[in-house]
Amino acid sequence: MKNLLIIGEDEKLLSYRTNEELNDKIQMLPRDLRRLFGVSKSLGASSSAMAGGYESSVVIANGDTAFDTAAEVYAAVQVAAGGTARCWELTVPARTMYVWGSGLYGAINNQGYARFCIMDTGTAFQVGTVMLKVERSDRLVQRTVKAFTDSLAHLADVTSVATAYATNNQVGMVAIPQTTVIAAPYSRLAIDYKVITNVGAGLDAAEFRFPVTIKTG
């Protein structure tokens, strides 16, 4: 049995064994969601409810107001070790669906990879757990789809954000294949950050790039 969770202004959990059964259950969704799925038996042999979507990525500047600059991101995570802070979010627009990640699990050159760093330039990296979430529009429900330690998602050079920026997916990046919690219109993609090592008041740089899959209709 497979599960697909759709989070928007409410939640819908679709459990299915075959793509045909998934198609039938999508037919029962509200019209706006059916339109986004392009339902006319469009999933066919595909195993993904995001079939027909396209691979993309999000960076800090794509965030909502108050989460769309590096300064806002590194200021948000200036909390004591053990503390958790919301450091970024993006509200999904109308007639659009997002999932975190892209590509296929286990296919090294056919899945998305993420970069992430927060630093006191020239001194040290902040260390923490990055939690990728989908959050309902009313903020009462959220689901974590991926969590990882950010030291895995950048290189070791603290000279600048540029020198910490990985370009080889085998070193300094974290694999994030397409996930199964769909962020429907008006829900949010969100990043929470749990601090492991706080480097002090000198945080002055932040950068990230996360793969996503987007579908519009």
Q: How confident is the model at residue 41 (pLDDT cuts 50, 70, 90)?
A: very low
pLDDT above 50: residue 7: yes
Does 64 map to a domain?
Answer: yes
pLDDT above 80: residue 44: no
Overall average pLDDT of the 190-212 stretch: 96
Query: 34-43, 80-89, 177-186, 208-217: which range is least confident on average?
Result: 34-43
Does 32 map to a domain?
Answer: no
pLDDT in the model for residue 105: 75
Share of the chain above pLDDT 90, in %: 74
Does 141 map to a domain?
Answer: yes
Taking the mean position of all CA atoms in its chain, how far away is CA 154? 17
Taking the mean position of all CA atoms in its chain, how far away is CA 100? 4
Query: 36-45, 63-72, 82-91: which range is least confident on average?
Result: 36-45
Does 19 map to a domain?
Answer: no
pLDDT in the model for residue 196: 98
pLDDT tens-digit series, residues 137-185:
999 999 999 999 999 999 999 999 999 999 988 899 999 999 999 999 9
pLDDT in the model for residue 48: 67
Report whether 55 contacts 211 (CB < 8 A): yes
CA distance 164 to 190: 23
pLDDT in the model for residue 23: 83
Does 11 map to a domain?
Answer: no
pLDDT tens-digit series, residues 73-98:
999 999 999 999 999 999 999 999 99
Does 137 map to a domain?
Answer: yes
Does 26 map to a domain?
Answer: no
Domain that holds residue 141: 54-216
Which CATH number belongs to the domain containing residue 167 in this structure? Answer: 2.60.120.1170
Overall average pLDDT of the 42-69 stretch: 82
pLDDT tens-digit series, residues 183-195:
999 999 999 999 9
pLDDT in the model for residue 52: 84
Mean pLDDT of the chain: 91
Number of domains, the chain? 1
pLDDT in the model for residue 38: 74
Does 184 map to a domain?
Answer: yes
